[in-house]
Amino acid sequence: MTEYTKDTIEQLIPQRHPIVMIDGVSILNASSAIATLNVEADNWFFCDGALLEAGLVEHAAQSAAALLGARDYSAGKPAQIGYIGEVKNFEVNKLPESGERIVTRIQLLAEVDAVSLVEVRSEVNGEYVCAGQIKVVIVGE
Amino acid sequence: MQNYFQIEGITKNDDNVCYQIALLSDCEVYEGHFPGHPVAPGACSIEMIRRCISMFLEREVRFLKIYQCKFLSPVNPEIQKRILLTLTWKQDIWKAVLMCDDLLLMRLKVAIR
């Protein structure tokens, strides 16, 4: 298992302030990881006391990007720019509040060329927050 | 999510509502998405659509389930400055289509509350 923290996460993803939506990731193996985010009131997607649905989607997408980026990083390559290609059956059960810590499990389901399909599920203190599938498209440096 | 977009016009029709929207390329989000290479974050467009539906219904709506959201073309806010959002709905299921001229940018189907 390899762990990345707030100080090293930017080696895995191309996003920078103010839209970094993960603050830690543990790479479990080539196809799964656990990413985290402490929700703070100054988060870009924070509104009326909670993290918005869009923030959960971006968090999920960056969690997926970090899993893919960790592979590149360990091969000595820089973080590649990627986009959300598709969000599918993404259900939102709860909007996390300030001070809560989101824990997200990412599982790589399929990978064809530059397109990766991942399944994500997020919790706060064991409570179900959101889950769904995200397709990430990597376009390069 | 400050200064991401600005609504320039709303057209209400019998079976849909259209928002004429300006994307604001000086929004601070582009400092990080991505440095020196601005691309409109797909998640910001999802929030923009939630705000437009909320405005239309005159209440704060929540997205319960995104059945499908496809991003068909990356959006550069310096090129795709003006976009058109068309919303249709059947009860609590809403569909959104985002276009720039003839270019299809995004398609969304979502259950709201």
Closest-CA residue of chain B to A139 = B74
Architecture of the A2-140 domain: Roll (3.10)
Q: What's the whole-number average pLDDT of chain B? A: 97
Flag residues of chain A having pLDDT under 70: 141
Q: Which residues pair with A36 in a beta bridge?
A: A24, A103
Distance of CA A47 to the CA centre of its chain: 20
CB spacing of A85 vs B47 below 8 angstroms = no
CA dihedral (B100, B106, B108, B113) positive or negative? negative
Q: Which residues pair with B65 in a beta bridge?
A: A91, B111
CB spacing of A53 vs B39 below 8 angstroms = no
- B5-112 under CATH 3.10.20.30, yes or no: no
Angstrom distances, CA of residue A84 to CA of A14, A64, A135: 13, 10, 6
Q: Report whether A70 contacts A117 (CB < 8 A).
A: no
Q: What is the pLDDT of residues A83-109, one digit of tens each?
A: 899 999 999 999 999 999 999 999 999
Angstrom distances, CA of residue B75 to CA of A73, A74, B28: 27, 31, 16
B42 vs A: CB within 8 A: yes
- 3-state SS, one letter per residue, for chain B: CCCCEEEEEEEECCCCEEEEEEECCCCHHHHCCCCCCCCCCHHHHHHHHHHHHHHHHCCCCCEEEEEEEEECCCCCCCCCCEEEEEEEEECCEEEEEEEECCEEEEEEEEEEC
For B31, counting Cβ atoms within 10 Å of its Cβ (0-12 exposed, 13-18 middle, 19+ buried), the class is middle
Q: What is the pLDDT of residues B30-71, one digit of tens each?
A: 999 999 999 999 999 999 999 999 999 999 999 999 999 999
Interface test with A, best of B65, B73, B110 (most A CBs within 10 A): B65
Domain boundaries in chain B? Answer: 5-112
Q: Report whether B63 contacts B112 (CB < 8 A).
A: yes
CB spacing of B71 vs A45 below 8 angstroms = no
Give the DSSP letter string of A70-90: HHHHHTTPPPPEEEEEEEEEE
Q: Could you identify the residue written with the tokens 């709303």? A: B10
B68 vs A: CB within 8 A: yes
Q: Could you identify the residue written with the tokens 């000086």? A: B26
CB spacing of A54 vs B50 below 8 angstroms = yes
Tokens of B35: 């440095």
Q: What is the pLDDT of residues B60-98, one digit of tens each?
A: 999 999 999 999 999 999 999 999 999 999 999 999 999
